[in-house]
Structure 1
Amino acid sequence: MPFKFKTGLLLASIASIAGMPAVAQSTSVDEIVVTSEYNKPDTSALKMPIPLVDVPQSLTIIGQEEIKLRGYGDLGDLVRYTPGVNTSQGEGHRDAIVFRGVRSTADFFIDGVRDDVQYYRPLYNLEQVEILRGPNAMLFGRGSTGGALNRVTKKAVIGTDAASADLSIDSFGAYNVAADVNMAM
């Protein structure tokens, strides 16, 4: 092929492609709405407010809205949908959580303070539940070889009035009544 023909063919193909954006601009696109979940930007699982992006371990935070939305009634319900964490049979109303294959005996915390009693505690009045997977002995002391579970309680909100209550009864006759009030003073 002569040089002039190759140049002409190249220019013709470029000219045909150059007109395409004008055709694409005339089409209309329907509006797309993207929804997502908002996660609190920091955590108290490491005993200080640290942005989630800086936590060097596997961490799951389940907020109050998600607890209500999914109908979680106790920690067993909550960890059932958390990767790497499950429940095993405990005694009485004791929560027996297994973190990455290691059964927990002393890895429960409320607002970062060890909760050695480990008896059944309702999820009512919690702001969020933080599940930290992996060894944590440097942060939490004894135990914590598989992980730790920290329950963060609700904080009072200045200048707002709010009240809520919860009542539950099961088929074995156990019942639970809980209420909280936040009032501006």
Structure 2
Amino acid sequence: TGTNTGGAPITNRSNALASRLEDGARALMQFAESLTLEEWKTKVPGDGRTVGVIVHHVATMYPLEIKLAYQLAAGEPIVGVTWNDVHAINAGHATTFADVSKAEALHLLKENSTAAAAAIRSLSDAQLDSAAGISLNADAPLTCQFMLEDHAVRHSYHHLAKLVAALSAKASARAA
């Protein structure tokens, strides 16, 4: 085992959170590795982004999600961030990385999920319990752990389920 930022041993809680993030990222990575080029470039209904862009999106968001969680860990509120901002970031990313390669996305997913898991493991229980207002959630005082679970940890699972459903629907439509 290692130590967290306070010099204390890594806690079961931080390790469990990091392990869940790693499991989700690994599942998304295995799914993405199995895709054909046609599947990689498939537009996701109701979203408009391609499968590949969404995989890359998950990878690019880990650093920001961890940064915001660390703000809460320090007792600092997250202010001025709106869902319109999130949608604008996602739209800009989709345009910039419209032709992202599978190799590039998978490399970034591995790199950023590994760094995110290490950052989570460095948090103490007190930091995980630290709460402050979050503008995305009507300024409700929520914990660092909530932010991690609702964003960095959940992100890969959320998008993986949508990607699997989109490609399954496409395959079913073809078979019909």
TM-score (norm 1): 0.21
Relative to its length, the structure with more helix (as a share) is 2
Relative to its length, the structure with more strand (as a share) is 1
Higher relative contact order (CA 8 A, sep 6+): 2
Structure exhibiting the larger radius of gyration computed from Cα positions = 1
TM-score (norm 2): 0.22
